């Protein structure tokens, strides 16, 4: 395994474990983990499996909460796809747009879940008024989702950028120095 791959995996799992710390509702690194994994894990299979495994590990430690998790994992997978679009160009503008897009996708998908007929205790009517009420009620949580996605994306993308400047083995655009060149 190369150092770049191991560093990216370590950052993803470390961020996932931050979910175990006390935090405000919907202020967690999961959106940023999806974007970061999608953008930096160049093997498409790993770009999905590793972030999802990190989410599963943290959910195992937090406790699973029901069938609705499938909806969360679905929106997480879409965020990984958004991260895949960042692979060739990870400018701050593109990361900002991807982070906001990921937040919006999560909000739209997870708030629509209340309309599914499987809900044991329906919170909203199963009509357009219910959809509207679900989204209005979710706005308070959406703010935290946006702020946390922006914050954790900055930490992951910015942190990896700073590491790659200082650790040549992490930057795939710069060849690592050979021992004989350092000695000569």
pLDDT higher than 60, residue 183 = no
pLDDT of residue 158: 94
Using alpha carbons, select from 155, 140, 165 the residue that is nearest to residue 26: 140
What domains can you pick out in the chain, each with its CATH number?
3-183 (1.10.1760)
Summarize pLDDT for 11-68 with one digit per residue, the tens.
Answer: 999 999 999 988 898 899 999 999 999 999 999 999 999 999 999 999 898 887 767 7
Its sign, for the CA torsion 37, 43, 45, 46, is negative
CA angle (22 as vertex; 16, 23 as ends), nearest 5: 80
pLDDT of residue 93: 95
Q: What is the pLDDT of residues 102-159, one digit of tens each?
A: 999 999 988 876 555 555 446 777 777 877 888 888 898 999 999 999 999 999 999 9
Tens of pLDDT, residue by residue over 62-90, are: 887 767 788 889 999 999 999 999 999 99
Confidence category of residue 177, pLDDT binned at 50, 70, 90? very low
Would you state the pLDDT for residue 119? 53
- Nearest 5°: phi and psi at 105? -60, -45
């Amino acid at each position: 395994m190369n150092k770049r791959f191991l560093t990216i995996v370590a950052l993803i799992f470390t961020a996932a474990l931050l979910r175990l710390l006390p935090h405000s509702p919907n202020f967690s690194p999961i959106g940023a983990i999806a974007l970061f994994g999608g953008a930096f894990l160049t093997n498409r299979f790993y770009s999905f499996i590793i972030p999802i495994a990190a989410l599963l590990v943290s959910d195992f430690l937090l406790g699973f909460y029901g069938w609705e998790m499938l909806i969360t994992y679905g929106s997480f997978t879409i965020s990984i796809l958004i991260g895949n679009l960042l692979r060739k160009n990870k400018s701050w503008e593109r990361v900002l747009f991807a982070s906001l897009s990921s937040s919006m996708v999560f909000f739209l998908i997870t708030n629509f879940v209340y309309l599914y007929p499987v809900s044991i205790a329906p919170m909203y009517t199963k009509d357009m008024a219910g959809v509207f009420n679900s989204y209005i009620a979710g706005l308070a949580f959406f703010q935290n989702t946006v702020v946390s996605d922006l914050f954790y994306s900055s930490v992951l993308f910015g942190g990896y950028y700073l590491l790659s400047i200082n650790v040549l083995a992490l930057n795939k655009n710069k060849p690592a120095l050979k021992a004989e060149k350092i000695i000569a």
